[in-house]
Structure 1
């Protein structure tokens, strides 16, 4: 512990700064931890967001970043952590404050799928699935989610 004295303004500023970091074994930059927050996410202080809202916003950054590195033959999907329940193509994501995150999608066979998760149990594994052969372009949910954040 140090004896540094901070002004109220310095304490408020320090509380508003996000804390993030990342280390990689090979080059894959930039990642969400290395990028500045979009202006729309910075408007509301973190302390004023519910855990679900803050998790939702950061998940959008991770999903968009993951999709930026995909080729045109693949789409984002989510593997379920801690179980053998398969993979879900991510077609939507939402939150219900203060503590619920919901993923909407379909399994590889096309069956409608929804995952509802408490933020205290949040574990998401991002995966790829081949896009449907009958669609010309892959769906990019991360870009739509990020666009929606900017409008808010």
Structure 2
């Protein structure tokens, strides 16, 4: 608790700012998810559920990729079904409530998952790179750049 006195407007603004908290057993190698300034430019209450989910997914994807070695790429598994695993090659949203993942399955088949934000349930996974001589593809950094451009 703080003894700092705030105006009503300041208190309301603070209540609307996005916050994140992560605790893991090994904080040295665990996630570090800083909130980029672009995320706070538009108040949360002005974002659609799809836009807000999209922005937070970008943070999780970028953070997950930062923990991968050069031999692995990000993929996502589906919970509650036998749909398998998809390498994440893109992500988007369709206001007000749809999030879309673009990628390929382990056989190389092109895939697209279209999901309502209320059903969003994604497990991030590390898969070996597809091509041994190629550098791993990282989508998180590109997504964060797009987020900065959109909010700028």
Q: Shorter-chain TM-score: which interval? A: 0.7 to 0.9
1:42 aligns with 40
Residue 18 of structure 1, CA deviation: 2.0
Residue in 2 that maps onto 1:97: 95
2:84 aligned with 1:86: yes
Partner secondary structure for residue 64 of structure 2:
helix
The Cα offsets for residues 81-130 of structure 1, whole Å up to 9 and x where unpaired, read as 11121100001100001100000000010001111111001111000111
1:50 and 1:136 map into 2 onto residues whose CA distance is 37
> Matches of residues 57-136 of structure 1 in structure 2 within 5 Å?
57-133=55-131, 135-136=133-134
8 A Cα contact 2:50 2:96, kept in partner = yes
Flag structure 1 segments of 5+ consecutive residues without an equivalent.
none
Q: Which runs of 5+ in 2 are unaligned?
A: none
In structure 2, what is the equivalent of residue 13 of structure 1? Answer: 13
Q: Which secondary structure state, in structure 1, belongs to the residue aligned with residue 141 of structure 2?
A: helix
SS of equivalent residue, structure 1 residue 147: helix
Contact 2:22 2:31 in 1 (8 A): no
Give how far 1:6 is off.
Answer: 6.8
Distance 1:10 1:133 in 2: 52
In the alignment of these two chains, the number of paired residues is 145
> Hey, what does 1:150 align to over in structure 2?
148
Higher alpha-carbon deviation: 20-29 or 89-98: 20-29
* TM-score with structure 2 setting the length: 0.88
